[in-house]
Amino acid sequence: MWSPARWLRLFVVICCAANCRAAADLRPPCGQDAEPPYPEAGQPPAVASWTSHESGSAWKPPACTGWTDPGFSSLIATAARFRASGGMDGLLRRLGSISSLTGIRYWSTTHGAWRTLITAARPLQDENPEHRRQDFRPEELTQGSVHYFEQVDNLSGAAVYRLQVLEVSSGRFVFAIENVTSIRRLLLTIFPPGAMQAVYFVDRESDGLWRFYCLLRTARNANWLAAGHPSSSINRATAFYRWLAGIPTDQEPPAAR
């Protein structure tokens, strides 16, 4: 007869296998239907999240993300439809207006209230936070171009990020963002350089109607202080989507209470 400990180990293996399949089911819009699927326009975004306890070490990122290292500490997928005028040029102008990130808000589950997420954001000429410049113009956001900006988070302070345009056309643009410098909290490094990564897919569905899909992951070497707050992470990810889509970032209801 199996001991309780052996039954517990088997239960953990079965649960991990189930979660592995769930994370593996993620499908960015790269020549296939997205998973999670896009909700109807005007509806809240569809969000799925996983933590390192749920297949974090075994997960293999889809090839079109450009990520080569497997695994994650946390993983969030966001899918949405939104309406925006101005066409591709308008969306690229929005993406390039890094300074307008200042003041975006999110629902803090800790405080049970809307809080300012980004207290300052500055476009940079390069990785040096002293080399500031004006917001990026749409014509600068060409395929393969790399740009830098500094962002001051309400919890972790200032860090430099890299924005790379992976693909751009009249009906689609794909870009990736990752931290260049360490992200710190309480004098501890919670994300070493490159440990926070996001890739965004924005596709034109019809005139004025767009599809948005984002994968955001934190690497396995992230500090444990960064884990255990999935609702907060979901709300932070949703705040960036709302900013890009031109939706008030503190519009009720939040993605997660």
pTM over 0.85: yes
Distance between CA atoms of 124 and 102, rounded to whole angstroms?
Answer: 15
Q: What is the tens place of the pLDDT at every residue in 128-148?
A: 999 999 999 999 999 999 999
Q: What is the tens place of the pLDDT at every residue in 53-95?
A: 655 678 899 999 999 888 898 899 999 999 999 999 999 999 9
List the domains of the chain with CATH numbers. 4-245 (3.30.530.20)
Beta carbons of 157 and 171 less than 8 angstroms apart: no
For residue 2, pLDDT beyond 90: no
pLDDT value for 133: 98
pLDDT value for 209: 97
Q: Find the range with the poorest average confidence among 27-31, 63-67, 189-193.
A: 189-193
Whether omega for the bond prior to residue 253 falls within 30 degrees of 0, making it cis, is yes
Of 120, 119, 123, 139, nearest in space to 131 by CA: 123
